[in-house]
Structure 1
Amino acid sequence: MTAAELLESPPEPGVLLLTFDRPATLNAISLPLQRGLDERLDEAARDDDVRAVVITGAGDRAFSSGYDLGELRGMSSEEQLEAMLEREELLWRYLRFPKPTIAAVQGVSYGAGTLLAACSDLRVGGPSTSFTVTAAKYGGANLTWILDTVIGAGQTRDLLMTSRAVAGDEAYRIGLLTRYADSGSVLDEAIAAATQIAAQSPDAIREIKSLLLAGQGSDLRSRYDRENTVARTALRPRSIGETFAGFFGTRPGAERKERS
């Protein structure tokens, strides 16, 4: 990967925008590009100035056309297997990234592009958006482990077993898109969502994402108890006066000073 293939910018305070800049290949994801994304997210995880990450593809034709087939074609069978195993770990690391991720899906999203989008916390699209899970076409299987938690079991069976393209309006209707830019910019809408997240307590957002990921497959009481434990411990409960200082028209700490 050249440095120019993964562009970055801070469009708003607290927001990191990462762009796959390979428009000639419809932003196909090479292994070096996926490694570069992982490395940049690892840095962002430790950067308190980054509170939300938006990922998109350059141009208006594609979010990503999937893995770079030209690169794969040049690999031996052993190299392809090694690449597949590495990519499995990189995708898992993306899912577990501790800060919110938002996929701005302008244009088509095939294969690995859809994998990344599905593993993002939010997905923003519009009329030009089109998702396809292509694995069944090639004798494979993808997203059986998570897509049903996003769009439900029935819709998941439809998408995975037919490999059909899902247009933006349908994707929004079934929950594959969380926000829909009907007439405006998909990227602008994604950045607006990231800005809203960045304005919240970073500790609370971190724990919310962690609780949601840990809760999948757990019974309801376990999820309830885990949330209550986190609220009492990791999020360090404050007094009512401090928590709702804005509502009461006081500054945090003022109540304690008055009592002293």
Structure 2
Amino acid sequence: MTDMPVLRRDADGVRILTVDRPDKLNALDRQTLAALDAAFAAAAEDAAVRAIVLTGSGTKAFVAGADIAEMNALTAIEGREFSLLGQRLMRRIERMPKPVLAMVNGYALGGGLELAMACHLRIAADSARLGQPEVNLGLVPGFGGTQRLLRLAGRAAALELCLLGTPVDATRAQQLGLVNRVVPAADLEAETMKLAAQLAASAPLALRGVLDAVVVGGECGLEEGLQFETAQFALLFASEDMREGTSAFVEKRKPLFRNR
């Protein structure tokens, strides 16, 4: 077992987090879930970080699932705690105040797909395969897979993936709305980092407003969601970045956002 299951690297406002258990196809055990939770908490608090990219080590897997060997030894009570640990991490990622991109470089199965779905954007290599195969282990998804699949892909697709347990290729995943873009495997890192750099150069307060309006507001009814959007819209009129962005547009120059 690696002592550091999550690696960190920074590049021009982008933090790259890599699940680093290649001998286990980056499977999620309790140590790795805790390390990811701490890494995302630190990224949320670091003012120099404007966007986060999450990926897996090696070329075979993003995250191939939860650690089956560890799960095999768990009691029902321990299984519940394992599920809650995973769900807390996914919720943290989903509620991050900065955009999170999943760079899906291979298998994203079970907990791996649940991890990717918690991210705000998903860019997949054309060689990637995604699925919720827990039924083949006598289980159901435990890190939020049933609920996020339902919301991202709809009832029919959620039932198909969870009942059959058969992974789909990246093209089918894009058709279902599970990934935003599919690119050749050789171009995956460059294309993902290009998107991350674009986000890192954008107005951070506006990005946070979009994330809050879509993620938090989207969990409300329509009227409540519209009110939430209006609140986010109005708050940004008090920001220097909004004045800079609108002034730059009028003056036909590139804006310089300062996160204030």
In which range does the TM-score fall when normalised by the shorter chain?
0.7 to 0.9
1:194 aligned partner = 196
Q: Give the distance between the partners of 2:241 and 2:96, measured in 1 at CA.
A: 31
Which stretches in structure 2 are left out of the alignment for 5+ residues? 255-260
Q: Give the distance between the partners of 2:78 and 2:150, measured in 1 at CA.
A: 31
Distance 1:18-1:237 versus aligned 2 partners, 3 A rule: closer
Q: CA deviation at 1:53?
A: 0.8
1:249 aligned partner = 251
Q: Retained in 1: the 8 A contact 2:217–2:229?
A: no
After superposition, residues 26-105 of structure 1 pair within 5 angstroms as 26-105=25-104
User: Could you report, residue by residue, the CA deviation over 1:135-174 in whole angstroms, capped at 9, with x for unpaired residues?
Assistant: 3332424523222322233322322222221101111222
Q: Retained in 2: the 8 A contact 1:204–1:235?
A: no
After superposition, residues 14-33 of structure 1 pair within 5 angstroms as 14-33=13-32
Counterpart amino acid of residue 6 in structure 2: L
Q: Give the distance between the partners of 2:45 and 2:243, measured in 1 at CA.
A: 31
Distance 1:76-1:183 versus aligned 2 partners, 3 A rule: closer
Distance 1:148-1:82 versus aligned 2 partners, 3 A rule: closer
Matched, 1:120 2:116: no
Q: How many residues align?
A: 251
SS of equivalent to 1:244? helix
1:136 aligned partner = 135
Distance 1:144-1:216 versus aligned 2 partners, 3 A rule: farther
SS of equivalent to 1:55? strand
SS of equivalent to 1:144? helix
Q: CA deviation at 1:241?
A: 7.1
Higher deviation after alignment, 170-179 or 193-202? 170-179
When normalised by structure 2's length, the TM-score is 0.86
2:5 aligned partner = 5
Q: Retained in 1: the 8 A contact 2:2–2:21?
A: no
User: Could you report, residue by residue, the CA deviation over 1:217-248 in whole angstroms, capped at 9, with x for unpaired residues?
Assistant: 43333322321222112552679975432233
Counterpart amino acid of residue 158 in structure 2: T
Q: Mark the structure with the bigger radius of gyration.
A: 1
Q: Give the distance between the partners of 1:125 and 1:49, measured in 2 at CA.
A: 26
Q: Give the distance between the partners of 2:69 and 2:226, measured in 1 at CA.
A: 48
Q: Give the distance between the partners of 1:197 and 1:151, measured in 2 at CA.
A: 25
Distance 1:78-1:153 versus aligned 2 partners, 3 A rule: closer
Q: Give the distance between the partners of 1:185 and 1:241, measured in 2 at CA.
A: 37
User: Could you report, residue by residue, the CA deviation over 1:23-57 in whole angstroms, capped at 9, with x for unpaired residues?
Assistant: 11111111111101111111111111111111111
Identity %, equivalent residues: 29
Q: Give the distance between the partners of 1:38 and 1:14, measured in 2 at CA.
A: 20
Q: Give the distance between the partners of 2:99 and 2:74, measured in 1 at CA.
A: 34
Counterpart amino acid of residue 122 in structure 1: L
Query: RMSD of aligned C-alpha atoms?
Result: 2.5
1:145 aligned partner = 147
Distance 1:203-1:240 versus aligned 2 partners, 3 A rule: closer
Q: Give the distance between the partners of 1:240 and 1:87, measured in 2 at CA.
A: 37
